[in-house]
Amino acid sequence: MPKQPPKDDELLAAIGRNIAKYIELRGFESQEKFAWEIGLPKTTLSRIIRGKGDVRISKLSKIATALKVKVDDLLK
């Protein structure tokens, strides 16, 4: 049987975990400071990291660029 793609909520949770991981790996003082540096409201970044609600590809691209990773790295 072929492997099933992750459900939306599982994918959003994985994206959030990966963003949080890369924020820490890149040495940002806090998620709030990272949000400020990339011009996102801290509540928006917090929602994305918690896996709540959909996230636009443009926001993922902006986050990935700031973290110096590919968007694909955030989706794993």
Closest C-alpha among 3, 2, 28 to residue 45: 28
- Domain range for residue 52? 8-75
Question: Is residue 44 included in any domain, yes or no?
Answer: yes
pTM beyond cutoff 0.85: yes
Question: Is residue 2 included in any domain, yes or no?
Answer: no
CATH of the domain at 33: 1.10.260.40
Question: Is residue 52 included in any domain, yes or no?
Answer: yes
Q: Print the SS3 string covering the chain.
A: CCCCCCCHHHHHHHHHHHHHHHHHHCCCCCHHHHHHHHCCCHHHHHHHHCCCCCCCHHHHHHHHHHHCCCHHHHHC
Question: Is residue 3 included in any domain, yes or no?
Answer: no
Domain count, the chain: 1
Question: Is residue 13 included in any domain, yes or no?
Answer: yes
* Model confidence band, residue 3 (pLDDT cutoffs 50, 70, 90): low
Question: pLDDT tens, 14-67?
Answer: 999 999 999 999 999 999 999 999 999 999 999 999 999 788 999 999 999 999
Report pLDDT for 5: 63
Question: Is residue 1 included in any domain, yes or no?
Answer: no
Higher-scoring residue by pLDDT: 7, 62: 62
